[in-house]
Structure 1
Amino acid sequence: MNSSSLSYERIVPMEGARNVRDLGGYSAAGGRTTKWGRFYRADGLHRLSERDQEAILARGVRKVVDLRHGYELSHSPNVFADSDRLSYLNVSLVNPATTARSDIRTLGDMYVDMLENVQAPLLRVFELLSEDAEEPVLFHCAAGKDRTGVVSALLLSLAGVSRETIVEDYVLTAECIAPLMDEFRAGRPEQVPADVYERFLGCDPGYMEQMLMHLQERHGDAERYLLAIGLSPEHVDALRRKLLGE
């Protein structure tokens, strides 16, 4: 089975979300493969139906890490926020208004900025993801593209997944969220000009390639980066075991 067919196999159909995907099945370092059913990446969960919620729980997910900002939480509350059936945690990675900054010209710039200037929240996210080695976890933002994409890229990089495959995983989002583009445009923050905001709705592979190149040139690799921002070696090892089943 080629990587393209695997990309479609990993999409988890939902009635109220479009970009729920399993990070399993990717070829990793040393001839290994990322484990299915350990990490799920997703877009907003605020429209999940009861059937959707049961489907997620049936996959064993008992932790949801919401990467959105407070503004987004208040306008589109997570359906699991008050659930007694799983642990819901919010760690805000980026304020959507960041796109209005003059030094953030592209999504690639924003991803690099996250690596360098959002390190404390990223550290917390990876601590949460490393917990409970056998327990599946779902992390998400609004589109499942930018904040979720950076976290996914770091996870896959830690597992030794190739840069080409990481970029392919990122680009798959474009097709998944195509039906939601009008909704995203309607949610544009007032302080962000429409033409600027439009540039930040895409999934150009160059954006993720820029971030991965920065990661390599500035930090060496994902493991060194995570250690540098404060993640303990024990947490790094736990993440790798969870990713690869070691």
Structure 2
Amino acid sequence: MKKIVLIAAVLALGTTINAQLSDSLRRIVKMEGAYNFRDTGGYKTEDGKEVVLGKVYRSDAINKLSEKDLITFKNKKIKKVVDFRGTEEAKKAMDRLPENTSYLLCPAGSENLPDAQNMVKLLKEKNFLLGMYGTEGLPYFGERYRPLFVQLLTLKPDEALLYHCTGGRDRTGMASALFLKILGVSQATIESDFVASNFYLAKNPTMQQMYSGLSKMAGLSESEVKAEMELRPELIRTFFAAITKKYGSIENFFQVEMGIGPNEVAILKQKYTK
């Protein structure tokens, strides 16, 4: 019965996510206190290389990691954590980390996330996530993600890094898209990696409680709320399009907003592809 339910859940998310899930066992990190903890490696680049495994991880909230999880965390050699949550958001659910783990909060764009009442209003207006990924979020992208790439450039050979937010889907999803894009991973693969969060977070009871609560407040069915809030490829396309419209290209965005030019891109490719 459980197998039938799992298959139905996968099919419900469409063929795009199936492409990512076909080899997801290489990436998923089993945690008792997190649902969307994944390795960003293992993807092929368009020049025939592969993003290395075991160096860069992404996750949802990690404030509830168990003792067993902390052992896994240490075994993965994760020494640096970058958190995209807002200041108060992070205080309410502080990361649970092994000793001697470097922690960096990057709250740009996260300090004024909509509360439940505003989310209800936005849900009724439809497509509210597009603003976060497009023009409304654009002023924050450089400030939010610059520290991550500085950390990536300086990460030691024997260390790994983790970046996360609360759900590990929107702010974290954009970070992954930028990381994979600058390494030369195809757009189709980036989109598959992005929407895979729908599958992993479907097992998170907090997400189900949120859908149920918003449904009652908005007078919408849970399926309507879920349809508005689930990740879809057009969101990451909107993200890249907004950047390209302002900066001319993703590469120019890296140069202007992060100080990462051709030399630094070459270093990133050397460190994180093989």
TM-score range, shorter chain: 0.7 to 0.9
1:134-164 deviation per Cα after TM superposition (whole angstroms, max 9, x unaligned): 2210000000001100110000000111111
Check whether the contact 1:46–1:77 (CA below 8 A) recurs between aligned residues.
yes
Q: Which secondary structure does the structure 2 equivalent of 1:65 belong to? A: strand
Match runs of 1:52-67 below 5 Å: 52-67=69-84
Q: Which secondary structure does the structure 2 equivalent of 1:62 belong to? A: strand
Out of 201, 208, 231, the position equivalent to 1:182 is 208
Check whether the contact 1:163–1:212 (CA below 8 A) recurs between aligned residues.
no
> Structure 2 CA distance, aligned partners of 1:198 and 1:54?
34
Out of 118, 125, 140, the position equivalent to 1:117 is 140
> Structure 2 CA distance, aligned partners of 1:42 and 1:107?
20
Q: TM-score, normalised to structure 1's length?
A: 0.84
Which moves more between the two structures, 100-109 or 32-41? 100-109
Structure 1 equivalent of residue 96 of structure 2: 79
Check whether the contact 2:59–2:162 (CA below 8 A) recurs between aligned residues.
yes
Q: Which structure: larger Rg?
A: 2
The unaligned stretches of length 5 or more in structure 1 are none
Which moves more between the two structures, 123-132 or 65-74? 123-132
The offset of 1:218, in angstroms, is: 4.0
> Structure 1 CA distance, aligned partners of 2:260 and 2:213?
38
Structure 1 equivalent of residue 128 of structure 2: 106
Structure 2 equivalent of residue 150 of structure 1: 174
Q: Which secondary structure does the structure 2 equivalent of 1:94 belong to? A: coil
Match runs of 1:2-151 below 5 Å: 3-80=20-97, 83-95=98-110, 97-99=112-114, 100=118, 105-112=127-134, 113-134=136-157, 135-151=159-175
Structure 2 equivalent of residue 240 of structure 1: 269
> Structure 2 CA distance, aligned partners of 1:52 and 1:230?
33
Q: Which secondary structure does the structure 2 equivalent of 1:139 belong to? A: strand
> Structure 2 CA distance, aligned partners of 1:176 and 1:141?
15
Which moves more between the two structures, 10-19 or 118-127? 118-127
Check whether the contact 1:11–1:21 (CA below 8 A) recurs between aligned residues.
yes
Distance 1:210 1:121, change over 3 A: closer
Distance 1:49 1:182, change over 3 A: same
The offset of 1:173, in angstroms, is: 0.2
1:22-76 deviation per Cα after TM superposition (whole angstroms, max 9, x unaligned): 1111010310110111110100001100110110110111111111111211211
> Structure 2 CA distance, aligned partners of 1:193 and 1:29?
44
> Structure 2 CA distance, aligned partners of 1:204 and 1:183?
21
Alignment identity in percent? 28
Check whether the contact 2:84–2:110 (CA below 8 A) recurs between aligned residues.
no
Distance 1:114 1:235, change over 3 A: farther
Q: Which amino acid aligns with 2:64?
A: R
The offset of 1:126, in angstroms, is: 1.8
May I ask how many residue pairs the two structures share in their alignment? 239
Q: TM-score, normalised to structure 2's length?
A: 0.76
The unaligned stretches of length 5 or more in structure 2 are 1-18
> What RMSD, in angstroms, separates the aligned Cα atoms of the two structures?
2.9
Distance 1:17 1:187, change over 3 A: farther
